[in-house]
Structure 1
């Protein structure tokens, strides 16, 4: 008489939830990493939303030092106007601050910083200051050893390198236009669709309704 062989299939890895129940682990590592990334993104942007008087935009910092006036959270109607065009966003100090924080969460804030540096550079009148600023921008964003290198083609990079001997206000224009296009076509649409931006566009009543709905 042959004895029966019973095969027992052991369950996959399990974990205990907050209530102490055993739960089957079904979420793979890429999904967990993405969830962690989205949670961190939401935390970063919510921090900016709650601390609107601490701008990270270099231009805003300089403005506040001169005028000693903190940035105020925009009204919902003002925030909604940023979706009309990318230029509408760039001309608003709070919007630039919020957008830069979003860029930072996507690890590409150097694009905004380069664009702002170019705007400041074009306003420079002194030739000696222009030379020093051009070298600083090149070393930080353009050169082969740049730690915050922007995404531009080799021809544009060579043109900028050649112009460093006698820089003009337009020597970074091609690179700035390229970076502007990257932000407008890639990051700007994602920012407009982000939960952070959508919250800025809501009225107090809508925010309270959402809070009650999520209880």
Structure 2
């Protein structure tokens, strides 16, 4: 992958400029802004952890882990989520009170300084469900600047070819623009992070 502006090929730099120009043009249309990441609430809703039977299924399926449904004992409060829930629940995750598989896994990744992988995966899931072209362009720009561009605040570890394809896709944003990058990060978490997670205290607490 590209490392530093000095090392970027001229075509890579031109592509990055083209993406920002294209997305900037699309965002000139009036619409509400979209924030992918919202701070944790001071008082998270009361929650219960998943059953040991559910947690045991996660050992062999990262997809089940990431899509584990919300288990809040109190009704979802309707406030904006930190991450969009796969099943539409709007409750927020909290690092000291993991209510589901995704929150537990994110807590583990945070301890390994690789939480950006889960954040990117969930952001892509939310992006693919976006209907409005303007909102899709807004989210594409945020995801690119947050996770894809060189030296991004939460740059994910994708190879140069995947980054180049993603940048090309973003010239004309579509629901599949981040598919290749998302699959690469999913494979990385499945191969490296999931085995360590199931050996960790985070997981052992869930299956007690």
Interval of TM-score (by shorter of Structure 1 and Structure 2): 0.5 to 0.7
Residue 64 of structure 2 is matched in structure 1 by 88
Normalising by the residue count of structure 2, what TM-score does the alignment of the two structures yield?
0.62
Which structure shows the higher helix fraction?
A: 1
> After the TM superposition, which residues 109-124 of structure 1 pair with which residues of structure 2 at under 5 Å, given as runs?
109-124=115-130
Task: Identify the residue that residue 50 of structure 2 maps to in structure 1.
Answer: 74
**Aligned CA-pair RMSD:** 2.2
1:10-49 alignment to 2 at 5 Å? none
Using CA pairs below 8 Å that are at least 6 residues apart, which structure has the higher relative contact order? 2
How many residue pairs get aligned? The number is 139
Question: Any conservation in 2 of the 1:76–1:200 contact (CA below 8 Å)?
Answer: yes
Alpha-carbon separation, structure 2, partners of 1:118 and 1:148: 14
Considering only CA atoms, is the larger Rg found in Structure 1 or Structure 2? 1
Taking structure 1 as the reference length, what is the TM-score of the superposition?
0.60
Question: By how many angstroms is 1:157 displaced?
Answer: 1.1
Verify: 1:134 aligned to 2:140, yes or no. yes
- Is residue 139–residue 145 contact of structure 1 (8 Å, CA) maintained in 2? no
Aligned position for 1:3? none
Structure 1: gaps of 5 or more residues: 1-57, 62-67, 203-215
1:101 aligns with 2:102: no
1:196 Cα deviation from its structure 2 partner: 2.5
Partner residue of 1:143 out of 125, 146, 149: 149
Distance in structure 2 (CA, Å) of the matches to 1:71 and 1:173: 32
2:108–2:202 Cα contact (<8 Å) kept:
no
1:152 counterpart = 2:155: no
Contiguous gaps of at least 5 residues in structure 2 = 1-36, 70-99
